[in-house]
Chain A
Amino acid sequence: MNMDRIPLLIDKYFEGNTTIEEEKEIREFFNTTPGLPDNLLPYKDFFMAIDVAARMEPSSKFEMRIRQRIEMERKRNSITRRIYITAGIAAALMLVIGFQQIIKQQPINTIDDPVIAMQIVTDAFSQVNKTIEKGMNSMYYIAEADKANEAIKRIKVLNESVEKTAKIHFISHSYKAFQNTHTRNNTNK
């Protein structure tokens, strides 16, 4: 090791200009060289301390501890996921069962004999038909009633006009009669 080279490297080191190789060289020098010259002695502790710091490692069981911890997290997560999946499946099953129940309930009164079935269907339709007919009949009555109303209105109008004519006729008639009697009285005097 060149003793002249080390002080130069040290200066370079404190300016942040050394390469990683050069830094290793400096540390190696201080770790292995006995009987340092006075100018380099103050740096011995510094470089040894850094060398010690660089070799600090987590304890040997540390990696195991991390693996165990992560394994634990993984299991915990998979348990939660399993619970979610189970809950999901259960919900889906409930839905399916519910639908099945609804579907099952719909055809309660089924009839196997086609003749009876036909009979029932015909009955049902005629029932419906009757009801509609009834409705239609009442509609007819309403229409008829409307017609009657109309006729009554017309009769009323006619009646009124007849009455009016009668009144006029009566007035003119009585006036004539009055005139006649008057003239007769005059002639009698």
Chain B
Amino acid sequence: MDQKQFYSTVLPLKGRLYRLALGYLKDPEDAEDAVQEIFVKLWAIRKALDKYRSIEALTVTMTKNYCLDQLKAKRRSEVSLDKVIAHAGGTSPEKSTVEKNLMHVILQILPQLPEQQKMVFCLRDMDGLELREIETLTGINYNNVRVLLSRARKTLREKIIKIQTYEYGQDSASN
């Protein structure tokens, strides 16, 4: 795989891997660093990449493992809202406060999800992949993917409703 091929196959995965890394590390800067490290690792093994049945699956596994290692290496502190907003690339600058708050909320609760639920949720609801694709990428059987997704969504719903009632009260709900 030459440089051109590498860029055309691996670089488009940056968004997905970034969102997945965010689900683990919740800090946008850390997530970018993680994805960058994974790309450098992939570059180092670019000649062997053709041998893999699915480069996408490889990148997902690598991201997951890298993030878990990072989490093991140091206990993360809470990420400030300012940092989240400062690194919220790709979204419109005139984002409402509600939206910024929501982003902060989701980054706080996503890492609390169990490992597999988090993966499935990130790949489906944040990346828009079909369940079959998730099955291929994660190696989790189709029916389990569905069950995990359902559980993840329900857990997140509970948590968000809880935050609504305690932090924002009825104001955010009536907006």
For B90, B130, B147, the residue with the greatest tally of chain A CB atoms inside 10 Å of its CB is: B90
Q: Is there contact, CB below 8 Å, between A58 and B35?
A: yes
Please judge, given known A-B contacts A42-B161, A49-B103, A56-B126, whether A14 and B153 are in contact too, CB under 8 Å: yes
For A43, A58, A70, the residue with the greatest tally of chain B CB atoms inside 10 Å of its CB is: A58
Q: How far is the CA of A44 from the CA of B101 in the complex (A)?
A: 13
Q: Is there contact, CB below 8 Å, between B15 and A57?
A: yes
Q: How far is the CA of A2 from the CA of B22 in the complex (A)?
A: 35
The stretch that binds A, out of B38-46, B53-61, B63-71, B74-82, is B38-46
Q: How far is the CA of A60 from the CA of B18 in the complex (A)?
A: 13
Selected from A14, A15, A59, the residue in CB contact (under 8 A) with B32 is: A59
Q: Is there contact, CB below 8 Å, between A62 and B127?
A: no
Check if A73 is an interface residue, CB within 8 A of chain B: yes
Please judge, given known A-B contacts A66-B14, A73-B44, whether A23 and B125 are in contact too, CB under 8 Å: yes
Please judge, given known A-B contacts A56-B22, A70-B43, whether A63 and B14 are in contact too, CB under 8 Å: yes
Residue of A with least CB distance to B19: A56
Chain A, interface SS category? helix
Check if A28 is an interface residue, CB within 8 A of chain B: no
B98 to chain A, nearest CB (A): 7
Contacts of B31 in A (CB 8 A): 58
Contacts of B103 in A (CB 8 A): 49, 52-53, 56
Check if B83 is an interface residue, CB within 8 A of chain A: no
A13 to chain B, nearest CB (A): 7
Check if B113 is an interface residue, CB within 8 A of chain A: no
Chain B, interface SS category? helix
Q: Is there contact, CB below 8 Å, between A16 and B89?
A: no
Q: Is there contact, CB below 8 Å, between B128 and A20?
A: yes
Contacts of A20 in B (CB 8 A): 128, 130
A59 to chain B, nearest CB (A): 4
Residue of B with least CB distance to A27: B125
Please judge, given known A-B contacts A53-B125, A56-B91, whether A45 and B14 are in contact too, CB under 8 Å: no
Q: Is there contact, CB below 8 Å, between A49 and B91?
A: no
CB 8 Å contact bits of A4-45 with B (1 = contact, 0 = none): 000000000111110010010000000000000000011111
Q: How far is the CA of A38 from the CA of B109 in the complex (A)?
A: 25
Please judge, given known A-B contacts A57-B15, A62-B32, whether A48 and B161 are in contact too, CB under 8 Å: no
Check if A115 is an interface residue, CB within 8 A of chain B: no
Selected from A45, A56, A63, A74, the residue in CB contact (under 8 A) with B164 is: A45
Contacts of A44 in B (CB 8 A): 173, 175
B58 to chain A, nearest CB (A): 17
Q: Is there contact, CB below 8 Å, between B157 and A14?
A: yes
Check if A173 is an interface residue, CB within 8 A of chain B: no
Check if A104 is an interface residue, CB within 8 A of chain B: no
Q: How far is the CA of A46 from the CA of B172 in the complex (A)?
A: 11
Contacts of B130 in A (CB 8 A): 20
Check if B49 is an interface residue, CB within 8 A of chain A: no
Check if A189 is an interface residue, CB within 8 A of chain B: no
Q: Apart from A52-B91, A60-B89, A70-B43, what are 7 other A-B pairs with CB-CB below 8 Å?
A: A14-B153, A50-B126, A52-B103, A58-B28, A62-B14, A63-B11, A66-B39
